[in-house]
Amino acid sequence: MNERESAPERRKGGRLAIIAVLAVIILLFVFFLKDIMIPLISLEARHDLSGVKELLADKGLFGALSVILVEALQMVVVFIPAEFIQISTGLSYPLWAAILLCDLGVCLGATIIFSLVRWFKVRNAAFEKRRGAIERLSKTMRERNTVLLLYLLFFMPFIPFGAICYYGSSTKLPYRKYIFTIATGVIPSILVSNGMGAAGAAFLLNDLPLWLLILILLVLAGALIALVLAFLKRFIFREGEGTPDSMMYAFIFFLAGILFGRRQRLTVDDELLKDVEAPYVLLINHECSEDFYFVSQMAHPKNPAVLANEYYLNRPIIGSATKKAGFLSKKLFTRDSGTVMGILRTLRKGYPVMIFPEGRLSPDGRTNRMAESGAGLYKLLKTTLVLVRIEGAYYSHPKWRKRRFPSDVHLTVRRVLTPAELKAMSDAELERIIETELFSNAADHMETLYPQKDKAKGLENLLYRCADCGALYQTEGVGNELVCHACGSRHRFDEHYRFTSGPASIPAYYDAIIQLEKPDLDTFSLHTPVKTRIFGKDKGPVRKENGECFLDKDKFSYRSGEKYFEIPTSELPALAFSCGEEFELYYDGELHYFYPVNDRAQCARWALLIDMLAEKRLAEAPAEPSAPVRPARERRVRKQAEAAVPAAETAGTPAADTSSEKPAPSEGESADEKG
């Protein structure tokens, strides 16, 4: 009985002790408030380093105590940056004393935060604003790694120390581990800030030349970066490496949230997903390069793997990071058995897979035609298919504009198809459903206001032909107008991205260009000299050469010296391109980037003509699925896909047959296009 009563008494005594300590701290704040704290904070607000140095030197011991209290106050309030007081302390005291004072202040602030959160359940608004960013990094960490996560957060330049302490206090971490982690985790940052202050003091006293000051600052910053990278590689990014549960995956999407999430007003309707268990395949239309981040904000039971353009995944730094994050690669518009194998392995591990079946960004805001053979693969995966439509993202960052605009982005789960439903459908029926549910037209979503003054900048690299006079490569985006230098016509955007005269929207203008190209579709002949970059197969070396590209209705061809190859247009479902830069394709396993020497806007024309030829072939093909050609194609697709999917599967989860080397059934069910 006495033991039962002693526990509440101990808790009560502990709370009283904490209240007493907090009261003493508050009294110290009040004592220092008038003579030191207010002047010190005022000088800090004005960034008056010399004034702070004089004040601290004049107050002696009280000045040192003020440093501790100000550092603690900045921890508790969160939104006040701590770097200024740390640099000021480095200016005013020897380096060892500056580090000690700042660290004591951090520990005092961390203790106050711990008491407020653990005993009084206090919530801080500034921390709550950053909770999402911290939780995205923490959701893949197990409880035993909370200490490592706190160390990681201290290395993040976007998260204040106080916010990290509020997070650490909300976990089950004991105080001793908590305060030790805080005290040691802040030392690298304090050391760099104090070192900068000490170097600045030496410079101000004319004891240090400017070049040496700059060198010291660069060395300190470089040392901190090296320490961060070494720590991340050794302790953080190894767990779950190569899967969407890795810390690298969380880190990539944390950075994506900072770069993309804050500028877009994202609305997610994923009600249909709440009862879906992983693994499953997500099919999404592709309006802008940030779409992968928008899809990650759905309520997924497990992080989805991203199927992305092989070009990015083979780059030296990005490629290493995405590989560790479990991203899957796809060669654009070419058969790729490795892609199917990667999808199967990922599904077998229980992760969803994110696929953009268009294989490229939408040029004009309308969803591109899907890959014809995708339906056969999706059915044979024998897993749930989730169809997701993105609307409103096109005008936020279209492929022809480098600048990002804030926009209203809507993401909706349109339909969920179970393996049983997929089995009951024909391939043609499934293709129709996918195209219907994923189709979006940017012209139908123009509610967002775009007050920017340069909305048409770069538009000539997509709308390369004047809709009024038909002149080639004479248009130019100037401010909010698309101007033709041949006939002088001007089409101006209003605040909703509508043209005030002529074609009503970008898709409508694009249609006008299509109508101008149609009469010559059977007779056109394009030729352009190019500078070529060739990425060798299997991550081989990158080569550069000069050459010439040719295109007519029958074939695409390339010549460089004695080298020559051609590809029938019937084997080109689409031509990937970057507006005003290059167009690209694979030949013999190597990725060729062609940069026209003149009129870079023609990249859009080459891609559009390939699209028009593909649409013409589709229109002229037999309408009935029972036509002789189509069943043969379907049987071939099914046979190839079945080779990748073993017959023996458990509970609907596919297993990977890594011994299969047969070509993949798809030509285009890939992800992000460069753009």
pLDDT of the residue at 165: 83
* Domain CATH code at residue 563: 2.30.29.30
The mean per-residue pLDDT over the stretch 254-272 comes to: 84
In a domain, 220, yes or no: yes
Alpha carbon distance 331, 310 (integer Å): 5
201 plus 60 within the same structural domain: yes
79 plus 201 within the same structural domain: yes
What are 427-458's pLDDT values in tens digits? Answer: 889 999 999 999 999 988 878 899 999 999 99
303 plus 438 within the same structural domain: yes
In a domain, 475, yes or no: no
Quick one: which of 438, 462, 283 has its CA closest to 367?
A: 438
**Bridge partners of 354?**
282, 306
In a domain, 187, yes or no: yes
184 plus 255 within the same structural domain: no
pLDDT of the residue at 203: 53
pLDDT of the residue at 439: 94
Domain that holds residue 210: 10-233
Q: Which residue did the predictor score with more confidence, 521 or 201?
A: 521
347 plus 439 within the same structural domain: yes
Element (H, E) at 591: strand 590-596
95 plus 164 within the same structural domain: yes
pLDDT at 204 over 60: no
Residue 276 has φ and ψ, to the nearest 5°, of: -90, 130
Locate the DSSP E strands across 229-313. Answer: 265-269, 280-284, 305-309
- The lowest-confidence range among 99-113, 233-247, 402-416, 605-619 is 233-247
49 plus 190 within the same structural domain: yes
pLDDT of the residue at 41: 58
Instruction: Please spell the DSSP secondary structure of 509-545, one letter per residue.
Output: HHHHHHHHHGGGTTT-EEEEEEEEEEE-GGG--EEEE
What are 356-374's pLDDT values in tens digits? Answer: 999 889 999 999 987 655 7
440 plus 589 within the same structural domain: no
pLDDT class for 163, splitting at 50, 70, 90?
confident
Q: How far is CA 412 from the centre of its chain?
A: 19
pLDDT of the residue at 659: 33
In a domain, 55, yes or no: yes
- The lowest-confidence range among 155-164, 476-485, 603-612 is 155-164
258 plus 226 within the same structural domain: no
Mean pLDDT is highest, among 149-158, 169-178, 388-397, for 388-397
In a domain, 554, yes or no: yes
Q: Which residue did the predictor score with more confidence, 18 or 188?
A: 188
In a domain, 634, yes or no: no
Alpha carbon distance 75, 90 (integer Å): 19
Q: Which residue did the predictor score with more confidence, 152 or 425?
A: 425
224 plus 252 within the same structural domain: no
pLDDT class for 208, splitting at 50, 70, 90?
low
Alpha carbon distance 649, 632 (integer Å): 27
Residue ending a domain, among 175, 207, 233, is: 233
In a domain, 633, yes or no: no
pLDDT class for 642, splitting at 50, 70, 90?
very low
pLDDT of the residue at 671: 39
Number of domains the chain is built from = 3
In a domain, 627, yes or no: no
pLDDT of the residue at 411: 95
Q: Which residue did the predictor score with more confidence, 319 or 194?
A: 319
pLDDT at 628 over 50: no
The mean per-residue pLDDT over the stretch 295-303 comes to: 91
Mean pLDDT across the chain, nearest whole number?
Answer: 77
pLDDT at 529 over 70: yes
533 plus 585 within the same structural domain: yes
pLDDT of the residue at 412: 96
Alpha carbon distance 624, 186 (integer Å): 69
pLDDT class for 311, splitting at 50, 70, 90?
confident
- Asked whether the whole model's pTM tops 0.85, one would answer no
Residue ending a domain, among 620, 636, 661, is: 620
Q: What is the dihedral of CA 485, 487, 493, 498, to 10 degrees?
A: -140
pLDDT of the residue at 657: 35
pLDDT at 651 over 70: no
Q: What's the full length of the chain, in residues?
A: 675
Residue ending a domain, among 391, 422, 444, is: 444
pLDDT at 650 over 80: no
pLDDT of the residue at 140: 46
Q: Which residue did the predictor score with more confidence, 21 or 246?
A: 246
220 plus 261 within the same structural domain: no
